[in-house]
């Protein structure tokens, strides 16, 4: 197994959003599942990389002596060994359940050319040779694990190679003579190549593949407030058909990271193998994000009169309120009001069959703006709103979009008498639709980056939303095709 470096692998992508009401525990927020198909693709890439690498290998010179009947002992040397061609044909990357991966190469061929020389007292002769190494098989077991840093780790647990046949063809003045000893020479080639193959593989894994896996981000900055934790939650898990890599998938506050008070739900991934790679995400990432932004006051807002469109028949001043809250105009004639709003608690992403939704409970306090920057509270409103959430994604990010439904406003407390909140409802709707949700949607559009290794490109993604009920049956699914990246 060499490395994906230097190539631009493209993997078919499917994304699953999975929510379960099952058990809670130290569960991943994101699972990357690589299927047989994905591994087959990786094996092809690896094979090409290994072939390139073998091509560049330098083989050691070797020498020795042979005793020839009626001739005595002859010293020979082989040098300037050069791999002319290297064709690795069959490769496979198989899952070893509960262990790791088995990378194998079969039916491969290497051709080496070089020079020979022979010395017998003052006699010096030389010539060239050609070696065909046929039927090379390689078998490498790879152990997958995670480092304490949360990065993936790979190591070769065993490597073996076999060479079925070596044919040496020697030309030059004494070539016929050396051809008599081709067995001895061939076995030396066999040995030299055989040990080099596993050395190369071992070296590629430690000096290229492992550093390459380190390019997987463990934490990523989302913005000045939030970061995303991608650390592995354990060793990647190999089953018969899939390799699952479990990531934390938690969004945290960059200023003040504290443990999350809720647990990620169990994800039961559907048995699907048609794509090369699946990213499964539970609502954990969204809910931890909600917590961070809520705590940072991102969901707090202030509405003042200058934000109300000029043609509005209701203004944020006591005069405009006179008709339906007579006392406010009497107590504070010609005074502007300010509404201060906050989302009561961090909204959670919920699942309703086939749809994602969230519900926001807001509390809005109204103040009259008195001279000397004195703000006096006059009434308090409760606002309930159901919001449907949409998720879209491209090949590098998952992005979201909220579409609010009609809001419900209720008067919670008033220092200026009870009044109907209908007129305020229109004003609040206007504000939320034109200011609040666009701001949240801009943030959601920045998206949630997928954990990808350097130089990996995904194409032809499909998004599916799965609701897995307790029994484990898929209840519904949404599919959408995204643009294919050229």
Ligand X SMILES: *[C@@H]1O[C@H](CO)[C@@H](O)[C@H](O)[C@H]1NC(C)=O
In the complex, which residues of this chain contact ligand X (CB under 6 A)? 115, 126-128, 296-297, 300, 340, 342, 354-355, 359, 384-386, 388, 394-397, 399, 403, 405, 408, 445, 447, 485
Residue found by looking up tokens 């705590």 in the block? 295
Sequence-ordered strand ranges (E) for 216-311: 219-221, 226-229, 237-238, 242-247, 250-253, 264-265, 277-281, 301-304
Residue closer to ligand X, measured from CB, 201 or 463: 463
Q: How far is the CB of 173 from ligand X (least distance, A)?
A: 10
Nearest approach in angstroms of CB 468 to ligand X is 16
Nearer to ligand X, 232 or 360 (CB): 360
By the 10 Å C-beta count (0-12 exposed, 13-18 middle, 19+ buried), 486 is classed as: exposed
Helix axes of 182-204 and 36-55: crossing angle, nearest 10 degrees: 120
Q: Quick one: CA torsion of 242, 248, 251, 256, rounded to 10 degrees?
A: -170
Gyration radius (Cα) of the chain, Å: 35
User: Please, what is the minimum distance in Å from the beta carbon of residue 161 to ligand X?
Assistant: 30
Q: Please tell me the distance from the alpha carbon of residue 109 to that of residue 434, in angstroms, as a whole number.
A: 67
Which DSSP symbol is given to 271? -
Nearest residue (CB) to ligand X, 317 versus 395: 395
CB of 396 vs ligand X, minimal distance in Å: 5
Strand-pair category, 10-20 with 457-468: parallel
> Distances in Å between the alpha carbon of 466 and those of 265, 343, 391, 398, 450?
14, 28, 13, 16, 19
Smallest CA-to-CA distance from 449 within 282, 229, 301, 255 is with 229
Q: Which is nearer to ligand X, 231 or 385 (CB)?
A: 385
Which of 288, 358 has the CB closer to ligand X? Answer: 358
Q: Which is nearer to ligand X, 158 or 215 (CB)?
A: 215
To the nearest whole angstrom, how small is the minimum distance from the Cβ of residue 362 to ligand X? 10
Q: Could you tell me the smallest distance in angstroms from the CB atom of residue 388 to ligand X? A: 4
Tell me the closest approach of the beta carbon of residue 413 to ligand X, in angstroms.
14
State which residue, 88 or 409, has the beta carbon closest to ligand X. Answer: 409
Closest approach of ligand X to the CB of residue 220, in Å: 14
Calpha distance 413→394 (Å, rounded) = 46
Is the Cβ–Cβ distance between 134 and 167 less than 8 Å?
yes
Judged by beta carbon, residue 129 or residue 278, the one nearer ligand X is: 129
Give min distance, CB of 415 to ligand X, in A.
Answer: 17
Task: Answer for the pair 213, 151: CB distance below 8 angstroms, yes or no.
Answer: yes
- Any long-range contacts for 438-444 (C-beta under 8 Å, 24+ apart)? 440/299, 440/402, 441/400, 441/401, 441/402, 443/223, 443/293, 443/298, 444/399, 444/400, 444/401, 444/402
| DSSP string for residues in 121-154 | TTEEEEEEEEEEEEEEEEEEEEEEEE-TTS-EEE
**Residue number, nearest CB to ligand X:** 297
Q: Which residues contact 157 (CB under 8 A, 6 or more apart)?
A: 100, 141, 142, 143
Kindly state the smallest distance separating residue 175's Cβ from ligand X, in Å: 11
Judged by CB, which is closer to ligand X: 48, or 390? 390
Least gap, CB of 394 to ligand X (angstroms) = 4
Looking only at the bridges linking them, the beta strands covering 264-265 and 277-281 are: unpaired
Q: Which residue, 203 or 485, is less far from ligand X as judged by CB?
A: 485
DSSP state of 307: G
The residue (of 105 and 407) whose beta carbon lies closer to ligand X is 407
- Which residue reads 């593989």 in tokens? 201
């Amino acid at each position: 197994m060499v490395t994906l470096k230097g190539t631009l692998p493209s993997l078919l992508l499917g994304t699953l959003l999975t929510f379960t009401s099952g058990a809670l525990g130290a569960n991943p927020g994101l699972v990357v599942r690589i299927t047989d198909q994905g591994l087959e693709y990786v094996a092809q890439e690896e094979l090409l990389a290994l072939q390139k690498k073998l091509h560049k290998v330098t083989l050691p010179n070797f020498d020795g002596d042979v005793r020839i009947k009626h001739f005595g002992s002859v010293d020979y040397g082989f040098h300037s060994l050069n791999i002319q061609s290297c064709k690795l044909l069959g490769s496979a990357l198989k899952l070893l359940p509960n262990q790791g991966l088995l990378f194998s190469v079969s039916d491969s061929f290497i051709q080496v050319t070089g020079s020979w020389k022979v010395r017998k007292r003052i006699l010096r002769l030389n010539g060239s040779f050609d070696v065909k190494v046929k039927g090379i098989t390689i078998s490498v077991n790879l152990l997958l694990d995670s480092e304490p840093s949360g990065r993936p780790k790979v190591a070769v647990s065993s490597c073996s190679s076999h060479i079925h046949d070596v044919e040496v063809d020697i030309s030059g003045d004494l070539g016929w003579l050396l051809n008599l000893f081709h067995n001895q020479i061939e076995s030396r080639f066999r040995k030299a190549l055989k040990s080099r193959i596993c050395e190369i593989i071992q070296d590629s894994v430690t000096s290229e593949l492992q550093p390459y896996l380190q390019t997987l981000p463990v934490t990523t900055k989302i913005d000045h407030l939030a970061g995303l934790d991608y650390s592995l939650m354990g060793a990647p898990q190999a089953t018969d058909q899939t390799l699952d890599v479990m990531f934390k998938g938690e969004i945290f506050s960059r200023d003040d990271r504290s443990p999350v008070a809720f647990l990620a739900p169990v994800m039961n991934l559907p048995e699907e193998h048609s794509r090369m790679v699946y990213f499964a995400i539970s609502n954990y990432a969204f809910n931890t994000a909600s917590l961070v932004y809520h705590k940072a006051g991102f969901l707090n807002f202030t509405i003042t009169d200058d934000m109300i469109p000029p043609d509005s028949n209701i203004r944020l001043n006591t005069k405009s309120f006179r008709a339906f809250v007579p006392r406010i105009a009497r107590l504070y004639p010609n005074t502007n009001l300010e509404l201060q709003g906050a989302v009561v608690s961090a909204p959670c992403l919920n699942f309703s069959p086939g749809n994602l939704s969230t519900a926001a409970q807001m509390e809005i306090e109204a103040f009259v703006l008195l001279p000397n920057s004195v703000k006096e509270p006059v009434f308090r409103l409760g606002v309930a709103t159901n919001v449907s959430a949409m998720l879209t994604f491209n090949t590098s990010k998952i992005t979201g979009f909220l579409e609010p439904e009609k809001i419900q406003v209720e008067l919670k407390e008033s220092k200026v008498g009870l009044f109907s909140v209908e007129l305020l409802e229109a004003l609040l709707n206007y504000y939320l639709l034109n200011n609040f949700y666009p701001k949240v949607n801009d943030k959601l559009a920045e998206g949630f980056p997928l954990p990808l290794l350097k130089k990996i490109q995904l194409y032809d993604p499909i998004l599916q939303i799965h609701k897995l009920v307790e029994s484990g049956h898929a209840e519904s699914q949404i599919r959408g095709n995204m643009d294919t990246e050229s």
